Each structure stands twice: as C-alpha cells, then as structure tokens.
C-alpha cells in the first residue's frame, strides 16, 4: 500500500495513538494514563466493539493484570474460574495416555491461573481505560501508515462507502488522519500495518522469522453432568500425524461452558491437510466426544497465533513508534499463553513513551522499551522454552516430546540448554510439499451434532461485512491461484481458510478462483500460508468481521 496522501483529510492529534484494542493495546493505554493523566491516548479498533475480534483459549496467567490493576478482583474483572485440574494427554486413534507431570517443569504448571473469555476481559479493560480518559474508537481500522522524514507520525483510518469496483457510494466518508508523537501497533498476530513496518524498518534483521499456527475454537454449553469447572486439558497426537505440530485444548469454565479448540502449526507440509476438518475430527475421539453428549455448540472462530518465541522477537521500536503484544509475537508456545506477555509489553512500551514525553521528546525511537523487554520477565518466560518449537518441527511430535521436556527442565533448573538456541528453518509458506507427492486425506462428513461444516460455523461467529466494498484479500497476481497453486498444491487456500472464503469453482469453462470475502473471520492464515505469498490481507470497511461473544 502506498504511503499516505495526507492532505485534505480530517486530522486529530494525540500524544499516543494505539492501533488495536486487544490485551496489549488496552494495557498500554491504561498504563500511560496511570503514569500521567495528561497524556492524550486514543485506541483504534477494527472490530464493531472492543472484544468483537478477540479470540483466545483462554487460560491466563494473571501476572500482568495484577501488575496493571492490583485490585482487579474488587473491580469486578471477568476472571472467575480458577484452574483446578491440569491434564496433558497423548492421543492415539482409540486411546488417550495421560502424560506424567514430571515430564514438565514447574513453568508449565497452571496453578494460580484462570480460565476466561479474553474477549470479555478486553471489554472490561476497555471500560477501565475509558474511565481513565482513553478515547476508544471501535469500528475504525487503521489502514495506512503516515511516515514522514523516516519516522512514523500516525495512521490513517479506512475510507467508508467505497463500492466493490472502487467507485465512491453516496455514503462515502474519507478516512481520518490520526497523528501522534508515538504510535503503538497492537494488531496481534500478523498485523497488516505491523507487517509493513517490519519490512520498512528491517525489524526482523538478524532475528529468526516469525512462526505461526492457526487456532480454531468452539464454545459449548455442556450438559451439567459433563461439566468439571476448572478443568484444563491439553492433548497432542491423533488426529495429526507425527510430522504435523499442533494439538487440542479444552477448558471448562463459567456456567457449564467449555472452550474447545485446536491449533495446527502452519509449517505443516501436506497441502491436502485441512485444519478445520482436523479440529472436527479431534472432537470425535472417544475420550473427548462423551463430554459433548447433550451439549450445544454456541460459538466458533479462528485466529492465527504466533509461535516463533524468543528468537523471533523483532526489534520492537522504530522512529515514532513500537510493536507491542503479538504484533511482535510473545506467545509462550508450550504453555499456549501470550496474553500476559502481550499486556506486559504494552505496559513496558507505555513506560518508555511516558518518560520520553515527559522529557519533551517526540517521534524518535523508544529504545528504552527494547532494553526493558530484554530485562523483563517476558523475555525470561520465552527464553526458557525457546527450543520447544524448533525441536517439535525437527523431530516430529513423538520424539520431540521427551526432548522438549528435558530441555525445559535444564533451562528452568540450570539456566542452560543442551541445544543452545535453535533456529526455525523455512518460513511457514515454504513448507508445503507438492500435492502430487502428498497423501490425500479424506475427512468424515460432519454429523451436525458434534462435528460441523464451515458455513454453519461461520454463522456462529457473527461475521458480517458490507458486501459492496473492495475485496480485502488482495491478490498480487490474480492468475496465480489457478495457474500455480492449483496444479502444484491443489490450491490449499480452499482447506487452510477456516471460513470457506476461498473456493475453486468450475462452471464448465474451467477452474476459477472465487473469494467469498464477506465470510472472513480475520484470522490472517492466508496472508501467512499462501505458498506463492500472493495474498495480502488488508483491513476491510470498519466494523466488519466477526462479532465474538464469550470467546
Ligand atoms: C486459539 C488461540 C488460543 C490461545 N490460548 C491462549 C491462552 O489460553 N492463554 C493465553 O494467555 N494466550 C492464548 N492465546 C494467545 C493470546 O490470545 C494472544 O497472545 C493475545 O490475544 C495477544 O494480544 P494482542 O493484544 O497482542 O493481540 P490480539 O488479541 O490479536 O488483539 C489485536 C486487536 O487489534 C485489532 N486490530 C488489528 N489490526 C488492526 C488495525 N489495523 N486497525 C484497528 N484494529 C486492529 C484486532 O481487531 C484486535 O482487537 C491464544 C491464541 C489463540 C489464537
Ligand atoms: S480469508 Fe484469510 S484471514 Fe480471512 S478467514 Fe480465510 S484465511 Fe482467515
């Protein structure tokens, strides 16, 4: 996208503009106001309200929340279900083997953690931020960077009222320019502007590239007899084969609620693999299926998750701004936790910006934030588990498990790893084998009770986009899906997209690539996994996308 044409737009100026109202952006905003109520702070959020686009597990480590708002319990934070049972199973097709706790060091324990809806927690954090004077604009995606004299000076929100063919409708409203002394990018995994910043300022130079997974999730209301409030269950193995990383999570919380989800590492190799169908199949395991008897599925969604960890953390600051949270990538993969690190990095960036503003600075690099991160408990959290992902990618699930356990033990006990710091290898888009060299996978048909199809699932995500707008999945070369991806990889977008956005249709005149953009749940998987790197996800018209509740 070209840099902004900034004249003749309405413009507003703030001390700090934050792109993204997730845990990172909200924690940053709150911390800024706590440090100095006079700092003007604005959050832009592309969802129709705060929390509408937040999808997570979520078992949270409350450490950052407690640092940010020590009396969160008294203030009524929606953090109520303590973890009471913590299980890890290895699945074969018919059996489930509990893995002994001794395999995992204390850093993996969920003692003191809570099962929440991160979407609800963000709504509550949004209220806390507003009560401190933060201005929050939901339904306003930041679409372009303002870069002047080599520094980020703010962002421009997307235009409203542009038709699919590009002409301006009667409802046309030009996007606004939001200028700031510092702009924080808190867009979460694979942020569209964060990706541009990474390239523009070479933020990944000398670091490992970021790695990703796709996480799919359903929310169920269980039959009361099946609910064990506080149960946390993680599983690996079947239905994934040994060369494909990922696994199941299942959390019982609230009033008979169960969050069940499945993560597939996006460095999977078989282009016939379908993460959505793997998730559906995982629920049919006899040890899992019985929990859902008499229950009802009430929510669905999907989102990419960062997996690169310690060695993939980019340079965090650049002139005029910083990446915070999963826009940089702070998920601790073996713990499947990132929200505590997202919040803490938001707070660290806020502290650096508040000090800079106090000193009369603007638009320079907040290098104190990089330093504070390197010394923080976030860096240590990631450092201790830095080899889990590379070992999993190299050795396959079965063999990796004891090595990951051993590596995390030596790291936690002695601060050393037998492996040093391993690299991640190829980027996720480059790992697919050719379709002709890969075994086709046939998935069972959904039964509509325990397993479902994509369209009924997307319906439950509340996804909605204005139909007459430019397609927000931008193809660099519209011919590639049919001329390259179809013959070589059987066009994997048809399978990796969890919302049925991409189809190859043939109405008699040969195959045609169809994009059903209105179904997009903003997971960003296509931007990451397309083997030709031909798809760029850009922000659609404001407020479009999923409307997650309790996710
Ligand atoms: C399936 C799954 C399970 C997980 N389980 C857990 C768990 O159990 N525990 C845990 O701690 N972590 C878990 N995580 C990780 C955790 O969800 C993330 O680490 C955390 O959400 C990152 O917070 P963030 O604020 O950086 O980004 P996000 O939560 O992704 O929030 C980003 C926000 O920015 C908005 N946004 C993005 N781009 C723009 C733009 N250009 N303009 C305006 N708004 C924009 C988005 O709409 C969104 O609201 C899980 C993740 C997934 C996907
Ligand atoms: S189109 Fe891309 S971002 Fe949208 S749901 Fe499909 S894979 Fe995810």
Q: Is 523 in the pocket of ligand 2 (CB under 6 A)?
A: yes
Q: What is the pLDDT of residues 42-60, one digit of tens each?
A: 999 999 999 999 999 999 9
Mutate to test the pocket of ligand 2, among 457, 492, 498 (most ligand atoms within 8 A of CB): 498
Ligand 2 geometric centre to CA of 358 (Å): 42
Asked if 260 and 248 touch (Cβ cutoff 8 Å), the reply is yes
Structure tokens at 146: 């303002």
| pLDDT beyond 70 at 5 | no
Structure tokens at 194: 């964060």
Q: What is the pLDDT of residues 230-283, one digit of tens each?
A: 999 999 999 999 999 999 999 999 999 999 999 999 999 999 999 999 999 999
**What phi and psi values does residue 426 have, to the nearest 5 degrees?**
-65, 155
Ligand 1 geometric centre to CA of 187 (Å): 8
| Residue of 375, 285, 280 lying closest to 97 (CA atoms) | 285
| Residue of 269, 273, 445, 336 lying closest to 110 (CA atoms) | 336
Task: Please state whether beta strands 41-45 and 135-138 pair in parallel, antiparallel, or not at all (unpaired).
Answer: parallel
What is residue 101's predicted lDDT score, i.e. its pLDDT?
82
What is residue 100's predicted lDDT score, i.e. its pLDDT?
85
What is residue 120's predicted lDDT score, i.e. its pLDDT?
98
Asked if 343 and 64 touch (Cβ cutoff 8 Å), the reply is yes
The β-bridge partners of 11 are: 177
Ligand 1 geometric centre to CA of 326 (Å): 7
What is residue 242's predicted lDDT score, i.e. its pLDDT?
96
What is residue 8's predicted lDDT score, i.e. its pLDDT?
74
Note if the pTM is more than 0.95.
Answer: yes
Residues 6 or more apart whose CB falls under 8 angstroms from that of 45 comprise: 20, 21, 25, 53, 136, 137, 138, 139, 140
Predicted confidence band of residue 3 (pLDDT cuts 50, 70, 90) = very low
Asked if 435 and 502 touch (Cβ cutoff 8 Å), the reply is no
Q: Is 212 in the pocket of ligand 2 (CB under 6 A)?
A: no
Ligand 1 geometric centre to CA of 97 (Å): 31
Q: What is the pLDDT of residues 118-147, one digit of tens each?
A: 999 999 999 999 999 999 999 999 999 999
Decide: helix, strand or coil at residue 347.
Answer: helix
Structure tokens at 178: 């939001």
Residues with CB under 6 A from ligand 1: 19-25, 44-47, 53-60, 118, 141-142, 186-189, 191-193, 215, 217, 261, 303, 305, 325-327, 331, 336-340, 342, 539
**What phi and psi values does residue 217 have, to the nearest 5 degrees?**
-145, 145
Q: What is the pLDDT of residues 142-198, one digit of tens each?
A: 999 999 999 999 999 999 999 999 999 999 999 999 999 999 999 999 999 999 999
Ligand 1 atom with the smallest distance to the CA of 24 is 25
Task: Residue 198: count other Cβ atoms within 10 Å of its Cβ.
Answer: 22
| Residue of 372, 305, 293 lying closest to 334 (CA atoms) | 305
């Amino acid at each position: 996208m070209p840099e902004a044409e900034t004249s003749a737009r309405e413009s507003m100026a703030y001390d700090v503009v934050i792109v993204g109202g997730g845990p990172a952006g909200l924690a940053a905003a709150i911390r800024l106001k706590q440090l100095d109520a006079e700092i003007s702070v604005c959050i832009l959020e592309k969802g129709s309200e705060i929390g509408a686009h937040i999808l997570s597990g979520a078992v949270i480590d409350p450490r950052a929340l407690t640092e940010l708002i020590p009396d969160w319990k008294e203030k009524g934070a929606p953090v109520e279900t303590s973890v009471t049972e913590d299980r890890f199973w290895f699945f074969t097709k018919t059996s489930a083997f509990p893995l002994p706790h001794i395999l995992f060091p204390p850093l993996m324990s969920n003692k003191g953690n809570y099962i929440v809806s991160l979407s609800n927690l963000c709504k509550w954090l949004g209220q806390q931020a507003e009560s401190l004077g933060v201005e929050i604009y939901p339904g306003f995606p930041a679409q372009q960077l303002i870069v002047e004299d080599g520094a980020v000076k703010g962002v421009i929100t997307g235009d409203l009222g542009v038709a699919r063919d590009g002409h301006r409708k009667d409802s046309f409203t030009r996007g606004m320019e939001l200028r700031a002394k510092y702009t924080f990018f808190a867009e979460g995994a694979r942020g569209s502007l964060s990706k541009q910043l990474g390239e523009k300022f070479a933020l990944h130079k000398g670091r490992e590239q970021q790695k990703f997974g796709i996480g799919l999730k359903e929310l169920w209301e269980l039959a009361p007899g099946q609910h064990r409030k506080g149960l946390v269950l993680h599983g690996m193995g079947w239905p994934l084969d040994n060369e494909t990383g990922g696994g199941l999570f299942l959390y019982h919380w609230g009033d008979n609620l169960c969050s069940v989800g499945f993560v597939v590492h996006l460095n999977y190799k078989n282009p016939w693999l379908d993460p959505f169908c793997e998730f559906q199949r995982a629920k049919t395991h006899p040890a899992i299926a019985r929990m859902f008897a008499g229950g009802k599925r009430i929510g669905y969604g999907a989102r990419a998750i960062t997996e690169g960890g310690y060695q993939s953390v980019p340079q965090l600051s650049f002139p005029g701004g910083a990446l915070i949270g999963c826009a940089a990538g702070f998920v601790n993969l073996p713990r499947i936790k990132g929200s505590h690190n997202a919040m803490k990095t938001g707070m660290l960036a806020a502290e650096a910006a508040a000090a800079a503003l106090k000193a009369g600075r603007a638009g320079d690099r907040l290098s104190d934030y990089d330093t504070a991160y390197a010394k923080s408990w976030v860096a240590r959290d990631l450092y201790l588990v830095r080899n889990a992902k590379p070992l999993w990618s190299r050795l396959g699930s079965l063999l990796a498990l004891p090595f990951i356990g051993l590596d995390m033990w030596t790291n936690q006990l002695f601060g050393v790893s037998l492996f040093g710091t391993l690299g991640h290898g190829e980027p996720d888009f480059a790992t697919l084998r050719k379709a002709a060299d890969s075994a086709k996978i046939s998935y069972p048909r959904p039964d509509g009770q325990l397993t479902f199809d994509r369209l009924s699932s997307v319906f439950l995500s509340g996804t909605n986009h204005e139909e007459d707008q430019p397609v927000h999945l931008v193809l660099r070369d519209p011919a590639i899906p049919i001329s390259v991806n179809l013959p070589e990889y059987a066009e994997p977008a048809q399978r990796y997209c969890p919302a049925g956005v991409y189809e190859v249709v043939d109405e008699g005149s040969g195959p045609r690539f169809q994009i059903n953009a209105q179904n997009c749940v903003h997971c960003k998987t296509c931007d990451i996994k397309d083997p030709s790197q031909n798809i760029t996800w850009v922000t659609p018209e404001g407020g479009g996308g999923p409307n997650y509740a309790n996710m």
